[in-house]
């Protein structure tokens, strides 16, 4: 044990101390959260810009695990404007899902907690800070105002219930008043057809394990769209779909967006899908936003070395290479982040300043921001790189 300690293994005593400390911290958060009859004034807030649906402001979400505190999201700020699609890309494990789960208040608790920052949600006539909202209030918003398509369908479909019953339940819960059981079932079948499921009546009676990966994913999408939400959080919604059905689902999302002016937060690794769907792109690395901008800025003018590496890693149809480019090195341990730029150890474009503290945000244009020392001497006008 002692031999390995240097590599980050903990002694039993240390682990017990951490775990006790964790419980103290998380109990404190949970107590806050579970209070009854919290006055609205506590979570009422003002949007910085009324044209945004969501504003993430310096969000910090940590997991208090026995091995230490995992800083999964460590100061994330970006906006989702009304009627726009924001694509979120980044290294696997960089905190994309945790960011969206923070917004939905669906973090794994008690270990997962928002420890700092705000998530402002624009409900039209007023704005709430999600991080301060009590559970009960949140439940009314989930499924109605906003809904989420989860990354792994099997984690959110119940394996022991039939598909039809599960979708029926969602509709009944939010839009069920005055509808008969048959009408709800009809609506479910209609939704299943909308997402391109053949044999929708047969699938209605099937169990999740009887569906293919892509069919499960589409059931999730149908459930999320059942109530025409104003905000859709789509976490890798099309990874299990072939490109033709993917195109169909993307069209569906777009038409819903246009019809009721919804906003979409779209998390995906598929840069092709981002290019097609997104108005704005946010690039995350190790729990932070390293670059954001309009879709044209990010694709035609990528600035952060991580973004540049990402663009270079993508295989392209019709372009044969022997070995794919892949960014060298590894992500830092989220329990033990360095105090300089998180990407520095892997960066192939380092400049003199990179040893310094974590870089601050530089504006390359009014919409294009990057956190990287390479742009410290650029004026805040941008454009001329």
Partner 1 sequence: MAKTEKKAPAGNKIGNLAIDNTFTPVTYDPQYILMVNKLKKYFPIKGGMVSKTVGYVRAVDGITFNLKRGTTMGLVGESGCGKTTAGRTILRLSGDKTGGQVLFNGQEVYDLSPKEMRAMRTKMQIIFQDPFSSLSPRLPVGEIIGEAVREHNLVPKDQFDDYIDQVMDNCGLQPFHKDRYPHEFSGGQRQRICIARALALNPEFVVCDEPVSALDVSIQAQIINLLRELQEKYNLTYLFISHDLSVVEHISDTVGVMYLGNLVEYGATADIFRNPLHPYTKALFSAIPIPDPGAKMSRIVLEGSIPSPANPPSGCKFHTRCANCMERCKVEAPEQKEIEPGHFVVCHLYDK
Determine the residue with CB nearest Mg ion.
97
One character per residue 86-125, x = contact with Mg ion (rule: CB under 5 A):
-----------x----------------------------
Per CB under 6 A, 95 contacts ligand ATP: yes
Interaction mask 97-116, partner 1, x per CB under 8 A? xx---------x--------
Residue 18 beta carbon to Mg ion: minimum distance, rounded to whole angstroms: 26
Nearer to ligand ATP, 65 or 228 (CB): 65
Closest CB to Mg ion among 37 and 212? 212
When asked if residue 151 is in the footprint of ligand ATP (CB under 6 A), the reply is yes
Among Mg ion, partner 1, ligand ATP, none, the one that 243 touches (CB under a kind-dependent 5 to 8 A) is partner 1
Q: Is 215 in the site for ligand ATP (CB under 6 A)?
A: yes
Q: What are phi and psi of 287, to 5 degrees?
A: 80, 5
* Cα 26 → chain centroid: 23
Query: Should residue 148 be labelled a site residue for partner 1 when binding is judged by CB under 8 A?
Result: no
Instruction: Name the H helices within 35-146.
Output: 96-104, 135-141
98 counts as binding ligand ATP under rule CB under 6 A: yes
Token pair of 377 as six digits = 């001497």
Q: Does 7 bind partner 1 (CB under 8 A)?
A: yes
User: Which has the closest alpha carbon to 191: 156, 163, 210?
Assistant: 163
Interface of this chain with Mg ion, residues 296 to 355, rule: CB under 5 A: none
Q: Is 301 in the site for partner 1 (CB under 8 A)?
A: no
**Where in 12-71 is the site for ligand ATP (CB under 6 A)?**
63, 65, 70
Secondary structure (3-state) at 338: coil
- In the region spanning residues 37 to 66, those forming contacts with partner 1, defined by CB under 8 A, are 63, 65
Q: Does 217 bind Mg ion (CB under 5 A)?
A: no
Contact between residue 233 and residue 103 where contact means Cβ atoms under 8 Å apart: yes
Q: CA–CA distance from 318 to each of 16, 315, 321 (Å)?
A: 55, 9, 10
Closest contact distance (angstroms) between CB of 9 and ligand ATP is 17
Q: Which is nearer to Mg ion, 94 or 118 (CB)?
A: 94
Round to whole Å and give the CA distance between 313 and 304: 14
Q: In this structure, are residues 345 and 329 in contact, taking their beta carbons and an 8 Å threshold?
A: yes
152 binds partner 1, rule: CB under 8 A: yes
133-160: b or e for each residue (b if 16 or more CB lie within 10 Å)? bbeeebeebebebbbbbbbbbeebbeee
Tell me how many residues contact Mg ion (CB under 5 A): 4
311-324 as b/e: b if 16+ CB within 10 A: eeeeeeeeeeeeee
Touching Mg ion, residues 125-154 (CB under 5 A)? 151
Residue 225 near ligand ATP by CB under 6 A? no
Pairing type for strands 263-267 and 231-235 reads parallel
Does residue 212 belong to the site contacting ligand ATP (CB under 6 A)? yes
**Contacts from 108-111 at CB under 8 Å and sequence distance 24+?**
108/63, 109/26, 109/30, 110/26, 110/27, 110/29, 110/30, 110/64, 111/22, 111/26, 111/63, 111/64, 111/65
Exposed/middle/buried for residue 6 (C-beta within 10 Å: 0-12, 13-18, 19+): exposed
Report d(CA 282, CA 301) in Å as an integer.
14
Per-residue contact track with partner 1, 76 to 95, x per CB under 8 A? -------------xxxxxx-
In the list 115, 138, 154, 354, the residue contacting partner 1 (rule: CB under 8 A) is 154
Binding site for ligand ATP (CB under 6 A): 63, 65, 70, 72, 90, 92-98, 108, 111-112, 151, 209-215, 240, 334
Binding site for Mg ion (CB under 5 A): 97, 151, 212-213
């Amino acid at each position: 044990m002692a031999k390995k300690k240097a590599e980050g293994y903990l002694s039993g005593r240390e682990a017990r101390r951490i775990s006790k400390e964790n419980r103290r911290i998380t109990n404190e958060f949970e107590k806050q959260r579970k209070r009854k009859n919290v006055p609205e004034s506590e979570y009422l807030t003002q949007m910085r810009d009324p044209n945004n649906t969501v504003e993430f402001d310096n969000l910090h979400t940590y997991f208090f695990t026995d091995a230490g505190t995992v800083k999964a999201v460590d100061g994330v700020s970006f906006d989702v404007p009304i009627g726009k699609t924001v694509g979120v890309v980044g290294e696997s494990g960089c905190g994309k899902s945790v960011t969206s789960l923070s917004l939905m208040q669906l973090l794994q608790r008690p270990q997962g907690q928002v420890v700092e920052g705000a998530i402002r949600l624009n409900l039209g006539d007023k704005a709430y800070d999600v991080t301060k909202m009590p559970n009960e209030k949140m439940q009314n918003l989930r499924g109605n105002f906003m809904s989420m398509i989860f990354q792994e369908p099997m984690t959110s479909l119940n394996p022991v219930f039939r598909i039809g019953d599960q979708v029926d339940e969602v509709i009944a819960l939010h839009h069920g008043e005055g509808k008969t059981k048959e009408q709800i079932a009809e609506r479910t079948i209609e939704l299943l057809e909308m997402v391109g499921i053949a044999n929708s009546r047969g699938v209605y009676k099937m169990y999740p394990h009887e569906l293919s990966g892509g069919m499960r994913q589409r059931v999730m999408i149908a459930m999320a769209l059942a109530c025409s939400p104003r905000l859709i959080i789509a976490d890798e919604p099309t990874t299990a779909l072939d490109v033709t059905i993917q195109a169909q689902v993307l069209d569906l999302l777009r038409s819903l967006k246009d019809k009721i002016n919804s906003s979409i937060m779209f998390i995906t690794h598929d840069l092709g899908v981002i290019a097609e769907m997104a108005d704005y792109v946010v690039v995350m690395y190790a729990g932070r936003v390293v670059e954001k901008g309009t879709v044209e800025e990010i694709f035609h003018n990528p600035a952060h070395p991580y973004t540049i590496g990402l663009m270079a890693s993508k295989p392209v149809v019709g372009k044969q290479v022997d070995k794919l480019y892949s960014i060298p090195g590894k992500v830092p341990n989220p329990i033990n982040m360095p105090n300089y730029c998180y990407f520095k150890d892997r960066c192939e474009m380092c400049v003199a300043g990179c040893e310094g503290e974590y870089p601050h945000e530089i504006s390359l244009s009014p919409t294009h921001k990057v956190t990287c020392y390479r742009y410290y001497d650029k004026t805040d006008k941008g454009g001329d790189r």
